[in-house]
């Protein structure tokens, strides 16, 4: 019988990642929270997880390439639950993108999460258990055109193929992999002007509470979920 599960949340201290890390907190799960800096937000998150009965520890590392997180994963294996709630964005037209900008978007939004999955999968298959959750961007549940986030969106859209490929390759194991594509989520990453524009653009006239996204994440990451895998799920209030 499997003992304590280990969950790794990459990008755990901000926005959606924080809410997912908190939701995972329960007896029998150690939540490893990745963040860039060891600050009050991390301390508060770890205390919150422990108060809910879960184990908690921090991994502090600035991510500049896939190898940065691979080194951390190697020290943690086996990882039973992998959540990648991290991905920087550059706003620019295609004509204004330099090669290093394209590479950076691809590295951290596509290569890094994909490489993390590759590293975690062998132990998941050996233990016959695994839950993986990735996050796409707004409206990246299928191929679309964008005015200012073409590189970011292309990388995030590419993750959908990885999700479906892993689901196909792990169908005989108790491994479920899915991706959520949130709309405009009310996080600290929006300034006042951006928040106002997001509200105007949202069909319901409101931004999405991060807890709503975390609740869906909890369903997909649950040990009770054994059939929902390979799904790309928009959570955008009808933004389409």
What's the pLDDT tens digit per position in 41-99?
999 999 999 999 999 999 999 999 999 999 999 999 999 999 999 999 999 999 999 99
Q: Whole-prediction pTM value?
A: 0.94
Q: Is residue 19 part of a domain?
A: yes
Residue 3 CA, chain-centre distance (Å), reads 24
Q: Give the lowest-confidence range in 12-16, 127-131, 141-145, 199-203.
A: 199-203
Does 92 sit behind a cis peptide bond, omega within 30 degrees of 0 on the bond before it?
Answer: no
Task: Give the number of domains in the chain.
Answer: 1
Q: Is residue 201 part of a domain?
A: yes
Tell whether the model's pLDDT for residue 1 goes beyond 60. no
Rounded-to-integer distance, Cα 150 and Cα 169, Å: 29
The strand order across the sheet containing 5-10 reads 55-60, 29-35, 5-10, 81-84, 130-135, 175-182, 231-235
Q: Is residue 96 part of a domain?
A: yes
Q: Is residue 144 part of a domain?
A: yes
Structural domain range at position 125: 5-232
Q: Is residue 237 part of a domain?
A: no
Q: Is residue 238 part of a domain?
A: no
Q: Is residue 162 part of a domain?
A: yes
> CATH number for the domain including 114?
3.40.50.720
Q: Is residue 240 part of a domain?
A: no
């Amino acid at each position: 019988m499997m003992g304590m599960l280990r969950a790794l949340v990459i990008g755990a201290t901000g926005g959606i990642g924080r809410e997912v890390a908190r939701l995972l907190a329960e007896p029998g799960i150690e939540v490893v929270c990745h963040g860039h800096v060891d600050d009050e937000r991390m301390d508060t998150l770890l205390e919150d997880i422990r108060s809910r009965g879960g184990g908690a520890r921090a991994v502090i590392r600035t991510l500049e390439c896939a190898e940065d997180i691979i080194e951390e994963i190697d020290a943690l294996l086996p990882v039973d639950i992998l959540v990648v709630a991290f991905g920087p964005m550059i706003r620019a037209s295609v004509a204004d993108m330099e090669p290093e900008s394209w590479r950076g978007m691809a590295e951290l939004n596509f290569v890094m999460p994909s490489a993390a999955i590759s590293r975690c999968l062998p132990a998941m298959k050996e233990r016959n258990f695994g839950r993986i959750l990735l996050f796409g961007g707004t409206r990246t549940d299928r191929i679309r055109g964008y005015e200012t986030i073409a590189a970011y969106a292309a990388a995030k859209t590419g993750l959908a193929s990885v999700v479906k490929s892993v689901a196909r390759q792990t169908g005989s194991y108790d491994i479920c992999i899915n991706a959520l594509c949130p709309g405009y989520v009310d996080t600290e990453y929006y300034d006042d002007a951006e928040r106002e524009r997001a509200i105007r653009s949202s069909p319901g006239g409101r931004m999405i509470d991060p807890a709503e996204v975390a609740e869906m994440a909890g369903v997909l990451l649950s040990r009770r979920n054994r059939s929902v895998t390979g799904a790309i799920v928009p959570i955008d209030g009808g933004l389409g």
